[in-house]
Structures are given as C-alpha cells and as structure tokens.
Amino acid sequence: MKAIGVTKDGDGPELLDVPKPEPKAGEALVRTVRVGVDGTDHEVIEGSHGGFPEGEEYLILGHEAVGVVEEANDTGLEEGQVVVPTVRRPPNGEENGYFERGEADMAPPEETVERGIDRAHGFMSEYFVSEERFLVPIPEELAPRGFLIEPISITEKALELAYTSRSSFHWEPESALVLGNGSLGLLTVAMLVEEMDVYCLGRRDRPDPTINLIEQLDATYVDSRETPVEDVPDVHEAVDLVYEGTGYAKHAISSVHALAPNGVAALLGIPGPWEFEIDAGTFHKECVMYNKAIVGSVNSGPRHFEAAVERLQELPEDALDSLVTRVVDYEEFEPAFENHNEIIKTAVSFE
C-alpha cells in the first residue's frame, strides 16, 4: 500500500510502498480517511523530535487521523464504523501501569511510543491496524473533520490539568492568553471564546489568515513584537489562564507574569535546551504570593478524545472552514507539508 513517511536516508516526506498491515487478534484494520498535519510532524521531519521504529529504515508519518473500520476482525467494532486512533502505544507491546489505567498520556517517554512521532508508524497510509481500545468511535458525519479530534484532545487534557489544579478554591476564569497562532493555538482559541475573553499572541503582519481567524472568533490578536507576554497585563489585562503552544522557553517563563492572582499557565510546547538569564527571584515570588501554578501537559488520553468528539460538534463550522486551509490527495501530498503564512491547517486525504 502507499504511505507517506520519512526514511533515514531521505530528505523530507516521500510516498513509500510499504506492506499492507494485517490485524492480529484484538486489532481492527482501518481504512484511512484523512490525516492532519501539525507542528510535531514538522519537528519529526526535521529530526528534532521523535524517532524511527526499532530496526526500521522508515517512519510512516501522521498522528491526527480518522478512518473507517475495514475489517473488524475479532474486535467489538463494526465494519464501516468511523474511528479516530489515539497516539500512544506500549513499547514492544509490553503493558505497563499507565496503559492498564487508561492513562497512556501520563507515561514518561521511556514507557510509551507514539504513532507517527516516536518509534512507531503513524497513520498516513491507505490502511492501518490498531487494537480496539485505541480506536475511538465517532459519529459518521464527523468523518471529514475527524482529524481535528486528536489536536482538540490535546487541549482538552491541558485544560483538565489546568482547571483541576485550581479546583480546591473558587476559580472562574474570565480571560485567557493563548501563546501561538498555529493550528493548535487557534483551535484552542475557538474552544475558549465561548467561556471567556481570549487573547492570542503571534508575530505576524496583517493581512494574515490567522489574525483573520482570531478576529472571526471575537478574540484579540496580540503582536508579540509590540506587546511581549509580560506586558499583556498592562496593555490588556492580567489573565486567569495561559495556554502556551509555542515551545518558546521565554514564553514559558514570562507566562507567570501575565497571570492574574491564582491563575495557571499550561505549557505544551517542547523546546530544546536554551540558557538565558531570568529574574528567577521574581518568578518564584510571583508564584508564591499570588498562588500561581504551572502545569506541563503532553499527549491526551481516551477521555480527552471523548471530550474532543463532543467539542468538535460544538465548534462553529465557519471557523473550522477557515482553519482547514487545504485538504490534499495523498498522491499529491507535498503542499500539505509546506510551511508558509497562508497555511493554517492542512490534511492529507486517502479517499
């Protein structure tokens, strides 16, 4: 079958001929419908994140997928059922406590692999197989946008950690600052605008499709070149929630200064080492005197996928239309991996 992947010798994504996978006991064969592309894919392609499956010369890309059950095999699924796969799997098929508890998202990197990212093939192929427990059934009408469920689930988990961290006292967030106007940041803006005032930080000039989408959602665009994160309280307002989706370490540190008393910053970006000077004393004191919190969040678990299925149905269709700037056929996949200002979110279609 055809798959889009990277090879150890190659230079960027290519169309590969790979064996069609055969489902083992407990696994279903899924025919891929669409697979989204995000910043993590670009990191995998660059080689800055993730890695190849052990003993293999290639990695099939793609972790944001939606498909249709082709062969239910011995699972409880039905053929024709639309499903979204979760991303993490036990390494070498060896179960551990995180997977047993349905909390694969809480596993440290040593105790999990990630399909399409780290040491396991992804879903950007005509077919894939998966254990039933890692396939989330979704309503059929969500199939065309089903590849958005994985990224939405990432934010569902981060918000769960953030809200839970504030649940021992009265906390009703009225404002949020989303750091990053990539597709995940913009999805998060769409998720939060019904609940609170949302600011979204980027570094783009108008006209720009991400700024248009931010404003279409009634959020406020903040240009970080004019208003750095720590100045947001003076220029706009101190925010109850910061959602960091940039992987830019200066933002992670500055987040604390953008927070209102008792606020929380959820960190999701994954930077490399970067040394610089900070006022660690003030950072520390702000956390304590104002009861502020920082929660790191990676990946997402089954309940976050289920929440994301609900959420996708609530998000405004016109905003989702603006978000998904292009769906390309897998045989002409190259534009899906381009990276320029006119692209927000792309997907590869296998239909």
Closest distance to its own copies from the beta carbon of 119 (Å): 15
Minimum separation from the CB atom of position 191 to its own copies (A): 17
Q: Which of 290, 306, 327, 328 binds its own copies (CB under 8 A)?
A: 290
Residue 164 gets which letter from DSSP? H
Q: Distance between CA 4 and CA 130 in Å, rounded?
A: 18
Closer residue to its own copies, CB minimum distance, 76 or 276: 276
Q: Which of 123, 120, 129, 165 is nearest to 264 (CA)?
A: 165
Token couple for 348? 């590869």
How far apart (Å, rounded) are the C-alpha atoms in residues 344 and 124?
Answer: 19
Q: Is 7 in the site for its own copies (CB under 8 A)?
A: no
Task: Spell out, one character per residue from 112 to 151, where the chain touches its own copies: x when CB under 8 A holds, - when not.
Answer: ----------------------------------------
Binding-site size, its own copies (CB under 8 A): 55
Nearer of residues 39 and 67 to its own copies, judged by Cβ: 39
Angle at 201 between CA 194 and CA 320, to 5 degrees: 45
Candidates 76, 93, 274, 340; binder of its own copies (CB under 8 A) is: 274
Distance (Å, whole) CA 36 – CA 40:
11
| Cβ neighbour number for residue 297 with a 10 Å cutoff | 21
Q: Examine residue 279 and tell whether it contacts its own copies (CB under 8 A).
A: yes
Dihedral sign of CA atoms 99, 105, 108, 110 in order: positive
Out of 247, 308, 315, 345, the residue judged to bind its own copies by CB under 8 A: 247
Kindly tell me which of 219 and 252 has the beta carbon lying closer to its own copies: 252
Contact set for its own copies, span 177-196 (CB under 8 A):
none
Burial label, 100 (beta-carbon count in 10 A; 0-12, 13-18, 19+): exposed
Q: How far is the CB of 252 from its own copies (least distance, A)?
A: 4
Helix orientation angle between 302-314 and 149-165, rounded to the nearest 10 degrees: 110
Tell me: does residue 160 bind its own copies (CB under 8 A).
Answer: yes
**Which among 21-29, 280-288, 312-320, 325-333 is the span making contact with its own copies, rule CB under 8 A?**
280-288
207 binds its own copies (CB under 8 A): no
The residue (of 30 and 253) whose beta carbon lies closer to its own copies is 253
Q: Which residue has the tokens 């520390």?
A: 284
Least CB distance to its own copies at residue 240 (A): 13
Indicate the SS3 state at residue 169: coil
Using an 8 Å Cβ cutoff, are 178 and 315 in contact?
no
Among 12, 47, 109, 139, binds its own copies (CB under 8 A): 109
**53: preceding bond cis by omega (within 30 degrees):** no
In the bound state with its own copies, the residue whose beta carbon lies nearer, of 73 and 188, is 188
Integer Cα distance of 2 and 350 in angstroms:
10
CA distances to 21, 180, 344 from 45, rounded to whole Å, are 23, 21, 18
Binding-site member from 11, 92, 170, 314 for its own copies (CB under 8 A):
170
Minimum Å gap between C-beta 105 and its own copies is: 8
Q: Identify the residue among 289, 314, 317, 340 touching its own copies (CB under 8 A).
A: 289
* Residue with smaller CB distance to its own copies, 214 or 256: 256
